[in-house]
Structure 1
Amino acid sequence: MLRSLPLLLAVTLAAGCAATGNEGGGETGTGGTGPITFATGRDTTAYLQPLLDRWNEAHPAEKVTLLELPEAADEQRAQMAANLQAQSSRYDVLGLDVFWTAEFAENGWIIPLERGLFPLDRFLPPVVETAVYKDKLWAVPYTSNAGLLYYRADLVKKPPRTWAELRAESRRITKKHNIGGYAGQFLAYEGLTVNFSEAVHSAGGEIVSRDGTEVTLDPAKGATAIEFMLQGLREGWIPHESLSYKEEESRLAFQEGRLAFARNWPHAYGPAKAKLGKKLGVTRLPGLDGPGSSTLGGANLAISAYSKHQQTAQEFIRYFTSLENERRVLTEGSFPPVWTELYDDPELIKRFPYLPVLKESILAAHPRPVSANYTQLSLVIASSVAKALSNPSPGAAQDVAASMKSELQEIIRTQ
């Protein structure tokens, strides 16, 4: 059973909140206590409300109300941005996608937090970095995520570690069993940005510097990443219908037996396991010369700069990201937790056999470009790669990569 965290001493919270001024915003109620709202994407597993009920039972004067936003991340962000631009106090705690930190902090929509109030040293290090912008902590990690390679263990001779091995196995299985070889998320949306970023990093490159101030994309590395996908489309082991795939389409194609390999997030494991049983295998993404690098995903919890009850919001985040709640995030919500020790728990590994692989993937993962203009960067990347994949003429990969770099540089210069 969960143990409710004790209330912080008022003096400690007052000191912590006093240090969290609203950079870019106006005067806020940093010492306020009272009812709060938690705005986050729609809960598709019904695990959230029981956790909120436990808080509410222990804090009758500071109850939290769940405000479910649309399931799609871009729609969530749009609703949050509209609310915060209006300086509305309707949202108190915000469930942010990890790559929104820079934008929300830069705009003064969220407040910086006191690092010492949270057990960050017990969290996975790359996950903590997603909550940091300009050397300040702006949110608290809540869930993590990293891409995995799902494969048909009954058809695959050996899990591939390189793109060449993935290609060879895919071609063999496609020819022998008349099914698709490999697919990721290749529709022109955020998922394609993620897939391209993973390919660039898995080829030894990067797109934007860690501080978000410089485009570091080597066009040759970018072309290599695009060519990896183009080769599969030309040779037929990446099905052309995958150009319309988002996460759900690729998940269904794999678990229904139409693919031998599929790149997806950990949430796809449960349904695939239920359908495929012992035929399911999971490993790290392959790369150019060895195991590849995933794009880091997940969600962080931040406090609205316009909340009237920021003290309660801070206490709630401490409660909600506690070790026992994080265990329930995994066991009841099937989301990857942020506490390192949970990935080494024998009981959890027995129930979720992919945890060791997921831990490796998270530790080796790269964050998406840190930029207040991330949305624009992502649109350029996704549209550029989609253009190359839909028209695989000779030299397309090189031309697209060079053009993409120029467009990204223009965005970075104007931020």
Structure 2
Amino acid sequence: MTLARLRVLLLAGALLLSGCSLPAVSATDGPGSDGTGPVTLATGRDLTGYLGGRLAAWNATHPAEKATLIELPEAADDVRAQMISNLQARSDRYDVLNMDVAWTAEFAAAGWVRQLDRNDFPLDKFLPPVIDTATYQGRLYAVPYTTNAGMLYYRKDVLDQEHLAPPRTWAELADEAKTVAPRHGLQGYAGQFLPYEGLTVNYAEAVQSAGGQILTGEGSGVAADSAAARRGLDFLVGGVRDGWIPKEALSFKEEESRRAFQDGRYLFLRNWPYVYDSAQAQGSAVAGRFGVVPLPGPDGPGSSTLGGSDLAVSTYSRHARSAQRLIQYLTGLDNQRQVLLKGSLPPVWAELYSDPELVRRFPYLPVLRQSLLSARPRPKSPDYDQVTLAVSEIVHDALSQNRSPGETAARLTTELNAIIRNP
């Protein structure tokens, strides 16, 4: 099935289900009540179990605004699908939505989440880049809750033996991956290169590290054929062509790439902070033998893609005032500390990244802070699901050496223009 045909089917399905969207309203407006009462928090599966304790603490002091956790599936695509099904039905079952940061534009444009007042939240205490993930067309529709940025994991023991520093530039990364890795029986570099959301992230990081972007503005134009964007694509395609990105990595998602590095098979790995604790755990082949630095770029440190999640109030919530209060509670400093300590998720409060106790427990925090401050959101678009589908499929075709970077950039431009011009 062609991408164009698939896009038509996706759009047709969306039109059949969506109906008319409602305009965003203030989160203090609660239809049919004063906006207070019991609320629900809809989220992807809580793998660490920390959210239950956070909501129990809220419920102990807010008995009239009891919060109930609704756990959706683990996979982000399934979470999004269930949330959209609920919202398109105008159901009031979900009050607070824990959304992937890439969904804000889509949910806001559809009128599914309520516009919020910036003055109601301590945004000035957050890492500046994360706030952009919660806005659409200059308005706040969610509140940053957790964040994330890609980092470069490297075999410190191997580079120390070679008297080499970890790479800061693409040229250094490619050289060390091509020459040092084979001398130590290792593969060069692993990222997330299967055709899914992870590949869109890896490609976006290469493009923005080169000074480019995939979409301009908030999805109003396409820049995939710019010189900077082509330079980012050339970096990845050239890595596969020259062998320092092995072909097996074209089938890697986060966990496959983590295991490959943790089993001691790779010199370099691009992945999220969650890998650190796992790679240091007992039984890991690289425990005590690796380090972490910001992703390299063409001429120095590059730019990561922002991950994480934002909290929003459903337009159809009957208790929107209580829903906003719950968001204020979950994004407060004390809970943000627990997000890291109990949930192993990067918080959005800037001061936590220099907290001595936390840095001792999570030694990567200073590097993560540096990576977050230079990170950028994924392309903003109300049609992001179609954008990422097109990007991942087309870029994977290029990495598989089926199309040249020039042909790929032209194809990306055509496909993405068709998406953003035919909403």
Q: How does 1:16-415 map to 2 (within 5 A)?
A: 19-20=26-27, 28=31, 31-156=34-159, 157-274=164-281, 275=284, 276-392=286-402, 396-415=404-423
1:333-383 C-alpha deviation (Å, 9 max, x unpaired): 111100010011111111111111111111111111111011111111101
Check the 8 A contact 1:193/1:378 in 2, yes or no: yes
1:357 partner letter: V
CA–CA separation in structure 2 for the residues paired with 1:204 and 1:130: 19
Distance 1:208 1:30, change over 3 A: farther
Measured against aligned partners, the alpha-carbon deviations of 1:13-52 in whole angstroms (never above 9, x if no partner) come to xxxx984489xxxx84573221111101111111111111
SS in 1 for 2:63: coil
Distance (whole Å) between structure 2 residues aligned to residue 259 and residue 29 of structure 1: 59
Residue segments in structure 2 that go unaligned for 5+ positions in a row: 1-23
**2: CA distance between counterparts of 1:213 and 1:158?**
41
CA distance in 2, matches of 1:43, 1:180: 34
**Residues 92, 383 of structure 1: CA spacing in aligned structure 2 closer, same or farther, 3 A cutoff?**
same
Contact 1:219-1:402 within 8 A present in 2 as well: no
Task: Write the distance in 1 (CA, Å) between the matches of 2:216 and 2:49.
Answer: 38
Cα distance in 2, alignment partners of residues 30 and 162 from structure 1: 57
CA drift of 1:64 comes to 1.0
Shift in Å at residue 134 of structure 1? Answer: 1.4
| Amino acid aligned to 1:414 | N
Name structure 1 gaps, 5 residues minimum: 1-16
Residue 269 of structure 1 and its aligned partner are, at CA, apart by 1.1
**Range with greater deviation from structure 2 (214-223 or 98-107):** 214-223
Q: Is the 8 A contact 1:29 1:306 kept in 2?
A: no
SS in 2 for 1:44: coil
Deviates more, 1:300-309 or 1:210-219: 210-219
**Which amino acid is 2:421 matched to?**
R
Judge conservation of contact 2:303–2:375 (CA < 8 Å) in 1: yes
The CA distance in 2 between the partners of 1:331 and 1:325, in whole Å, is 10
Alpha-carbon offset, residue 71 of structure 1? 1.3
Scaled by the length of structure 2, the TM-score of the pair is 0.90
In structure 2, the residue matched to 1:10 is none
SS in 2 for 1:37: strand
Counterpart in 1 of 2:11?
A: none
> How much does 1:221 deviate?
2.9
The residue matched to 1:325 in structure 2 has which SS? helix
Could you tell me how far apart the structure 1 residues matched to 2:401 and 2:279 are? 32
Aligned equivalents of 2:327 and 2:363: distance in 1? 29
Looking at structure 1, the residues matched to 387 and 100 of structure 2 have their Cα atoms a distance apart, in angstroms, of 16
* Corresponding residue of 2:20: none
Counterpart residue identity of residue 420, structure 2 = I
- Matched residues in 1 for 2:150 and 2:306: separation? 8
Q: 1:61 offset after TM fit, Å? A: 2.2
| Conservation of the 8 A alpha-carbon contact between 2:104 and 2:142 | yes
Q: How big is each residue's C-alpha offset from its partner over 1:389-412, in whole Å with a ceiling of 9 and x where there is no partner? A: 12356xx11100111012111212
SS at match of 1:61: helix
Seen in structure 2, the aligned counterparts of structure 1 residues 200 and 282 have a Cα distance that, compared at 3 Å, is same
Q: Could you report, residue by residue, the CA deviation over 1:122-160 in whole angstroms, capped at 9, with x for unpaired residues?
A: 111110111111121101110011110111110122110
Runs of 4+ deviating beyond 6 Å = none
For 1:352 and 1:44, the matched residues in 2 are separated by 19
Q: Distance in 1 between matches of 2:264 and 2:410?
A: 38
Give, in whole Å, the separation in 1 of the partners of 2:241 and 2:26: 57
Q: Deviations over 1:202-227 (max 9, x none)?
A: 11211112332121233433332222
2:129–2:373 contact (8 Å) kept in structure 1: yes
SS in 2 for 1:348: helix
Structure-2 separation of matches of 1:299 and 1:250: 22
> Does the Cα contact within 8 Å between 2:208 and 2:229 map onto a contact in 1?
no
C-alpha distance in 1, partners of 2:387/2:98? 22
Q: How many residues align?
A: 393
TM-score of the aligned structures, taking structure 1 as reference length = 0.91
CA deviation string 1:77-128 (max 9, x = no partner): 0110001000011111000111111110111111011111110111111101
**Aligned equivalents of 2:82, 2:70: Cα separation in 1:** 11
Return 174-183 or 324-333, whichever deviates more.
174-183
What is the aligned-residue identity percentage? 56
Distance 1:84 1:386 in 2: 33
One-letter identity of the residue aligned with 1:202: S
User: Contact conserved, 1:128 with 1:141, CA < 8 A, in 2?
Assistant: yes
8 Å Cα contact 2:37/2:319 also seen in 1: yes
